[in-house]
A = this chain, B = another copy of it.
Amino acid sequence: MTELRIYHTKIEPQWIDFNGHLRDAYYGLVASYAIDDLMDFLGLDAGYRARTHCTLYTLELHLHFLHEVKSTDDLRVESVILDFDRKRIHVGCRFMCSRVSDPVATTDMMLLHVHQGDKPSSTPFPEEVQAKLAQLQASAAARDAFAPGSRKIELKRR
């Protein structure tokens, strides 16, 4: 069983662009808020950050846009831990709308645990966070089912 962390949000009117749908960048903002929520859940919350000067930095992010999202839609983000090591988390998010049965978008991103100071540097997660990550980590099957996963973007000639 994959543990999912669920984040809900309303669509703000200013997130709709001239195409009459959710602007691409705001999927990223919703994912960013979902990761804030996941950080709280993992114990990497405001108190932890103030106490340790440690936080997560995003290294890389991929987004697939699968269905249009309209101003009247709701949005639910299901986050899964695809992989992690001592300092990094590979997290995947599925964007779901009640109107559509399939995901309307997916994203996956690489996050790095960083000690902030004069010169930010990567640092291992505390043991209790590693334990929580291990608990939450998706099974190999759930990981393989996370599609579309990230890949090289290119135009394939037909």
Contact = CB atoms under 8 A, between A and B. Distances in A.
Interface in A1-47: 17-20, 23-26, 28-29, 31-32, 46
A29 B19 contact: no
A68 interface: yes
A85 interface: yes
Copy tally for this chain in the complex stands at: 2
A120 B68 contact: yes
A57 B65 CA distance: 9
Interface of A: 17-20, 23-26, 28-29, 31-32, 46, 49, 55, 57-65, 68, 83-85, 88, 90, 108-110, 116, 120, 149-155, 157
B57 A150 contact: no
Given A19-B55, A62-B150, 19 more contacts: A17-B32, A18-B55, A20-B116, A23-B29, A24-B28, A24-B61, A58-B65, A59-B64, A59-B65, A61-B63, A62-B62, A83-B154, A83-B155, A84-B155, A90-B155, A108-B153, A109-B153, A150-B151, A151-B151
A8 B31 CA distance: 25
26 contacts: A17-B32, A19-B116, A23-B32, A24-B58, A25-B26, A25-B28, A25-B31, A26-B29, A28-B61, A29-B29, A58-B65, A59-B65, A60-B63, A60-B65, A61-B63, A62-B63, A85-B155, A88-B155, A90-B154, A108-B153, A110-B155, A149-B152, A149-B153, A150-B150, A150-B152, A152-B152
Contacts of A23: 29, 32
